[in-house]
């Protein structure tokens, strides 16, 4: 028996037989062509792109019909890429400029785009890179001949095990045959995760070496609650998980009832639950899960689908689309958070030695004023169409905030002179993500309209731990007393300054931390949309007095272990059936 830890992305527990799915890349033979063959290759390219587009439209419609609108949106990015004139022109130039076949040009250009996305160093953009690979395979399949998916050979119920699943594979699965999913790669926002949740299939991703340790037909337990896959379990473990399956079923049924109810504590305190999004299309999921708006709109993707920086109009159209989908609910836009080991490093002649401490986030924006101005103008223009807030990421000194606000004021004057409407009172705030800003938060509060605590970076910089480094990832812990102290400091400063403060890091969506955050004084939490119901469940089960009492107890502890154990014990008391998955050690 072997237990393999991963990331829980879709709740539930399943026992089943393993069915291995490979994702080997297509090998494209290199062949040069004569100049006279170029028109023929261009025609082959256009025929393949049209056929791939038709396939995507068909698959999208089937997914929408069988799984719903949200999973079908997976394919909007695919369809958009096929319509991207810049991408098509680049492929055509490869054919006509280097005299290679259409398939070689497609493979080369798509791989270049994949590398660009992966250099972003972010889970979301890594997933977009997988999207591009999926689309590449589809186009190459048209040019080189279709490959039969092994999933088509599935004849009886099974647990799908793969190194990774492409969006096409995930969406095309036969619901009557697939009982659970487990993959080496992937994260909470991967398409495998989205489809698994839509299908109601338990899923664990990010298992790293699972596929290499499983043989076809092995008995597996996929625990989508605890993020665990058990390979070849013994009889005692199978009996134990039979009981857990029933408990999990009751838990999921209870959470489904909450989406339409308000997030109000038992003593009547209303908490705002917002969604974190990467793309406007995710707003539908925010609203479906009972969210009150968008508390964090990450805008970096606008830089990644083109060679040139996005124009003001590109920004404006994206923000306007988001506001229309929100229908009057608030939208908080974070200005671009490029840098570190991401997109900007690929643009530099000399990449930075330590980019996480380099020209990133607000520093990068201020160093590229033309791009920053285009984004700020678009945000201001969009503010005329709905409630918009703007926040600057990774601010570490007051001058950065003042420079950003000065640019907004100057742009506002320009728009007024041009007769373009905008909200002259648009709130401008900062993300508190570094210890310097947390310790100086009382000063920042005097010049900010609001705070948003970005716990992901705050924990990382406070503890000097790269959570992506497996050697030290165990030291990354939001329950560290120093992190709790800084959070308390930020909230005190916000109260003293009379401004709102929210939390938009991963901690905001973790039930274990919910009571502590409320007890410290947070009244707005922003999270991944599908985490909203479970956080709402915690809120509706407690009083503010309970939360404040817990925060006082935790504030006296000097060990993250002690804090974590206490938080888990309190969550367990609410309802072991619902929260058992989050209190497991």
Q: What 3-state class would DSSP assign to 192? A: helix
Both tokens assigned to 282:
């995710």
Residue identified by tokens 């190194």 is: 163
Set 191, 315, 364, 480: catalytic member:
191
Set 207, 501, 503, 504: catalytic member:
504
Both tokens assigned to 510:
């973790």
Q: What are the residues facing 450 on neighbouring strands?
A: 500
439 burial (CB, 10 Å; 0-12 / 13-18 / 19+) is middle
Contact call for residues 539 and 271 (beta carbons, < 8 A)? yes
Q: Can 503 be counted among the known catalytic residues? A: no
What is d(CA 337, CA 355) in angstroms, rounded to the nearest whole number? 13
Residues contacting 189, CB < 8 A, separation 6+: 123, 124, 127, 278, 528
Residues contacting 572, CB < 8 A, separation 6+: 579, 580, 583
Rounded to the nearest 5 degrees, what angle is found at the Cα of 442, between the Cα atoms of 539 and 400? 105
What is d(CA 431, CA 437) in angstroms, rounded to the nearest whole number? 9
What is d(CA 450, CA 432) in angstroms, rounded to the nearest whole number? 10
Q: Residue 115, Cα to own-chain centre: how many angstroms?
A: 19
What is d(CA 482, CA 474) in angstroms, rounded to the nearest whole number? 16
Rounded to the nearest 5 degrees, what angle is found at the Cα of 260, between the Cα atoms of 257 and 263? 95
Q: Can 191 be counted among the known catalytic residues? A: yes
Three-class HEC string of 410-477: HHHHHHHHHCCCCCCCCCEEEEECCHHHHHCHHHHHCCCCEEEECHHHHHHHHHCCCCCCCCCHHHCC
Which residues are designated catalytic?
A: 191, 504
């Amino acid at each position: 028996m072997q237990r393999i830890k991963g990331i829980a992305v879709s709740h539930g527990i399943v026992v089943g037989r393993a069915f291995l799915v490979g994702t080997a890349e297509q090998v494209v033979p290199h062949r040069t062509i004569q100049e006279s063959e170029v028109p023929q290759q261009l025609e082959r390219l256009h025929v393949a792109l049209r056929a791939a587009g038709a396939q995507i439209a068909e698959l999208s419609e089937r997914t929408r019909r069988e799984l719903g609108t949200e999973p079908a949106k997976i394919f909007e990015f695919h369809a958009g890429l096929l319509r991207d004139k810049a991408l098509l022109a680049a492929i055509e130039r490869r054919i006509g400029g280097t005299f290679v076949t259409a398939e070689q040009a497609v493979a080369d250009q798509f791989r270049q785009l994949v590398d660009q996305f992966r250099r972003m160093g972010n889970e979301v953009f890594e997933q977009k890179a997988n999207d591009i690979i999926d689309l590449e395979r589809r186009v190459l399949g048209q040019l080189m001949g279709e490959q039969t998916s092994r999933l088509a050979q599935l004849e009886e119920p099974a647990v799908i095990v793969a190194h990774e699943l492409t969006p096409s594979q995930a969406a095309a699965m036969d619901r009557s045959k697939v009982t659970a999913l487990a993959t080496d790669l992937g994260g909470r926002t991967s398409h495998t995760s989205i489809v698994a949740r839509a299908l109601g299939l338990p899923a664990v991703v990010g298992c790293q070496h699972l596929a290499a340790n499983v043989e076809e037909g092995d008995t597996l337990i996929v625990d989508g609650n605890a993020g665990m896959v058990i390979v070849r379990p013994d009889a005692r473990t199978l009996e134990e998980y039979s009981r857990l399956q029933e408990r999990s079923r009751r838990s999921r049924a209870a959470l489904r009832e909450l989406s339409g109810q308000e997030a109000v504590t038992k003593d009547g305190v209303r908490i705002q639950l917002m969604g974190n999004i990467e793309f406007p299309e995710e707003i539908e999921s925010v609203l479906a899960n009972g969210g009150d708006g968008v508390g964090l709109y990450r805008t970096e993707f606008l830089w990644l689908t083109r060679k040139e920086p996005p124009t003001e109009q590109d920004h404006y159209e994206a923000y306007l689309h988001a506001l229309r989908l929100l229908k009057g609910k608030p939208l908080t836009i974070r200005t671009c958070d490029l840098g570190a080991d991401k997109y900007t490093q690929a643009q530099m002649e000399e990449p930075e030695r330590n980019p996480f401490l380099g020209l990133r986030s607000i520093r990068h924006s201020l160093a590229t004023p033309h791009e920053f101005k285009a984004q700020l103008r678009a945000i201001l223009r969009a503010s005329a169409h709905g409630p918009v807030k703007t926040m600057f990421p990774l601010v570490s000194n007051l001058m950065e905030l003042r420079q950003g606000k000065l640019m907004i004021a100057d742009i506002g004057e320009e728009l007024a002179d041009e007769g373009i409407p905008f909200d002259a009172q648009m709130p401008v705030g900062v993300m508190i993500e570094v210890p310097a800003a947390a310790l100086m938060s009382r000063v920042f509060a005097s010049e900010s309209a609001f705070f948003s605590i970005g716990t992901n970076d705050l924990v990382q910089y406070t503890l000097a731990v790269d959570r992506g480094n497996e050697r030290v990832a165990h030291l990354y812990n939001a329950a560290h007393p120093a992190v709790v102290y800084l959070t308390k400091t930020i909230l005190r400063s916000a109260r003293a300054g009379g401004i709102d403060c929210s939390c938009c890091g991963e901690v905001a969506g973790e039930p274990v931390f919910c009571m502590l955050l409320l007890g410290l004084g947070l009244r707005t939490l922003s999270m991944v949309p599908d985490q909203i119901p479970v956080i709402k469940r915690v809120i509706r089960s407690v009083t503010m007095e309970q939360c404040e009492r817990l925060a006082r107890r935790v504030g006296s502890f000097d060990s993250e272990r002690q804090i974590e154990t206490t938080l888990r014990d309190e969550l367990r008391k609410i309802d072991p059936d619902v929260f058992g998955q989050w209190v497991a050690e």
